[in-house]
A = this chain, B = another copy of it.
Amino acid sequence: MRVAIVGATGAVGHELMKVLAESHKQGLLNITEVQLYASARSQGKTLNFAGQDLTVQTTPEGPIPADVVLASAGASISKALAHQWASDGAVVIDNSSAFRYDADVPLVVPEVNGEAALTHQGIIANPNCTTAIAVLAVAPIHRKYGVKRMIVSTYQATSGAGQKGMDELIEQTRVYLSGGEVSHHEFVHPIPFNVIPHIDVFQDNGYTKEEMKVAWETRKILGDDSLNISCTAVRIPTLRTHSEAITLELSTPAVPSEVRALLSTAAGVEVRDDPAQNLYPMPITASGKYDVEVGRIRQSLVFDGGIDLFVSGDQLLKGAALNAVQIAEYLQAQGALG
């Protein structure tokens, strides 16, 4: 299988190469060729894929000669070019928000709604990182108990803004600690030792687009437009892995022990929930991990039979690169790839 990465030099591109190499090594994806694309500025750069040096080419404004195109170059580039990339038969798995809300573009988390990928017409959308992480824990609960209301508060890492976001946190934390004046470019305000309740642009309803993505995308992935979802999305001074506090009202009452058992057999989930041993989800344990950590599973105090939980998931992996590669793996396993 010929795989192309568009946006190979970014933070997600970096993770894509690692995850692809691992998938090939594990015999999941049968990769015969890897093509790397990025903006003209990176043309000629060399990146290592599984021991091989590959040259980065400028992202084409036409068909890409590959079976799968893993795109992570931002919504405006995808919006302008993805249909052209796919025009010779490649399947574009797009990490941006460009097509997520299009009725004819499936939005896929393979563990949850993999079969939706088979309906694609050239483009498959990879969900927002916060949604992908939450939905792994929420989908099994929704299937068994029926989620009526879902309230999410996020603790999002700077890598959500890419490598530059992480660099700004590290650099500006150094500046802070040396008594200098902290500046900011990637974030709207200084991020060291701060909290910024503002990710992506504000909508007319007072929510940010990041917050609305969680509502829109969770409903689409779960195939349930009746779900009431509210989110507060907050940037905090961590490097990697988003955490989320989630409160669920359920149609059928659940007890925590049942939910713990249910999630312990769920794909893509690691139940990490032993308060007596100080075990619960955290960025320092979830970073670099394929599975999303789920813990602090407890009976809701506001909804009879409802459930509260806490998740930490590496948003560069399950929230982006890993999920995209898993979609390709799913398509290959279903014989739906060249």
Residues of A within 8 A of B (CB): 149-151, 153, 155, 169-170, 173-174, 177, 188-190, 193-198, 202, 205-207, 215, 228-230, 232, 234, 236-239, 243, 245, 247, 256, 275-276, 278, 280-284, 295-303, 308, 310, 312
Contact A151 to B283, CB < 8 A, known contacts A230-B301, A236-B236: no
Asked whether, in the complex, the Cβ of B238 is within 8 Å of the Cβ of A194, the reply is: yes
Name the contact of A174 in the complex, choosing from B177, B196, B296 (C-beta under 8 A). Answer: B177
Instruction: Establish whether residues A284 and B198, one from each chain, have CB atoms under 8 Å apart when the complex forms.
Output: no
Q: How distant is the Cα of A232 from the Cα of B94 in the complex, in angstroms?
A: 34
Copies of this protein chain in the complex = 2
Q: How far is the CA of A303 from the CA of B278 in the complex (A)?
A: 34
| Docked complex Cα distance between A99 and B177 (Å) | 39
Q: Are A188 and B155 in contact (CB under 8 A)?
A: no
Q: If the complex has contacts A198-B275, A232-B153, are A298 and B207 also in contact, measured as CB distance less than 8 A?
A: yes
Residues on the B chain within 8 Å of A247, using CB: 151, 230, 232
Residues of B within 8 A of A284 (CB): 189-190, 193-194
CB distance from A213 to the nearest CB of B (A): 13
Neighbouring B residues of A302 by C-beta, 8 Å: 149-151, 228-230
Chain B min CB distance to A178 (Å): 10
Contact call B298/A195, Cβ cutoff below 8 A: no
In the assembly, what is the distance between CA of A256 and CA of B284, in Å? Answer: 37
> Contacts A193-B283, A232-B245, A238-B237 hold; do A202 and B275 have CB atoms under 8 A apart?
yes
10 extra interface residue pairs, beta carbon distance < 8 Å, beyond A151-B151, A151-B302, A195-B243 = A151-B247, A193-B239, A194-B284, A195-B236, A195-B282, A197-B282, A202-B275, A206-B298, A207-B298, A232-B310
